[in-house]
Amino acid sequence: MSEDSKALGKFVWYDLMTNDVAKAAAFYEALVSWTWKEMEVEGMGTYKMIHAAGTEHGGLVPLRPEDNLPSHWIGYVTVDDVDAAAAKAVELGGKAPVPGTDIPGVGRFAVIVDPKGAAVSPFKPLQWAGEGYEGPARPGTFVWHELMARDPDAEGRFFSQIFGWTVASVDMGRMGFYHLFKRPDRPDKDAGGMLTKPEGTEGSSMWLPYIGVEDVDATAARVEPLGGTLHVQPRDIPNVGRFAVAGDPTGALFALFRGAAM
């Protein structure tokens, strides 16, 4: 693809870093009807890619005991220069626990963590694929990406300086302000959102992936029978849609979502 096909500052992939691939795969297969496309990756073994709505959207990666990390989802955001993004994260007071690393035949990535603990992966593909699918949200796919921030002002600046995003704040009335990250190449497109992590919740800041579903209530009702945990019961976001927040049996958090226009 040509330089004109770049889509910068866009979430394009999600990996579940999990301490039990088999358990996680069975859960999501039953919950959101994912199927798998498997490939062998040098040094990692079999990589299970998430197949939904006719294509792949992410994968499952086994955590090693020496990683000493809980299961979690991590998103990949497109950049022009992975190494520069990692260096900028460190310069701004964050960390780059995984430096720029090549994925043979795919592209280059790193892992960066902001000062409040939110991790994301800058990614540059070997071949730019343009905007990709731009139609209505499809069940089984990742439809939104939200930073639950301990310090929205500081963390918004941190990620904006790395990915070139601008921040637009929306007054949600009694819900307070919701912040939208606007992409550098397409200011009319939202890269994701940000809200203040609720008082009393444990843990660091984090990025939360939203999975599209046909029926939030029916899907949420299956979470616990399948071995997961329902953290936020289904509720409406006025004029936006309906969502719930859950954890899979290995502890990774995610949201279920159906938009008002789905």
Report yes or no: 194 and 147 within 8 Å, Cβ to Cβ: yes
CA distance 198 to 117: 16
Look up the pTM and report it: 0.94
List all residues 6 or more positions away from 234 whose beta carbon is below 8 Å from its beta carbon: 216, 217, 220, 242, 243, 244, 256
Cα dihedral sign, 78-55-134-167: negative
Q: In what side-by-side order are the strands of the sheet with 11-18? A: 35-41, 45-52, 55-62, 11-18, 72-78, 119-125, 107-113, 95-103
Task: Identify the pLDDT of residue 250.
Answer: 97
Q: Which fold has domain 142-259?
A: 2,3-Dihydroxybiphenyl 1,2-Dioxygenase; domain 1 (3.10.180)
The DSSP call for residue 79 is -
CA distance 27 to 115: 32
- Show pLDDT as tens, one digit a residue, over the chain (262 residues): 345 578 999 999 999 999 999 999 999 999 999 999 998 877 667 899 999 999 999 999 999 888 889 999 999 999 999 999 999 999 999 999 999 999 988 999 999 999 999 999 999 999 887 666 666 778 999 999 999 999 999 999 999 999 999 999 988 777 678 999 999 988 899 999 999 988 777 789 999 999 999 999 999 999 999 999 999 999 998 888 999 999 999 999 999 999 876 5
Same fold, 3-125 and 142-259: yes
**In whole angstroms, how far apart are CA 229 and each of 130, 176, 215?**
37, 27, 18
Helix intervals (H) in the chain:
21-32, 82-91, 152-163, 216-223
Task: Identify the pLDDT of residue 1.
Answer: 37
Q: Where exactly are the structural domains of the chain?
A: 3-125, 142-259
Task: Identify the pLDDT of residue 202.
Answer: 79
The DSSP call for residue 183 is P
Q: Which class does domain 3-125 fall in?
A: alpha beta
Task: Identify the pLDDT of residue 109.
Answer: 97
Task: Identify the pLDDT of residue 2.
Answer: 44
Task: Identify the pLDDT of residue 3.
Answer: 54
Report yes or no: 109 and 61 within 8 Å, Cβ to Cβ: no
Phi and psi dihedrals of 226, rounded to 5?
-85, 0
Task: Identify the pLDDT of residue 133.
Answer: 67
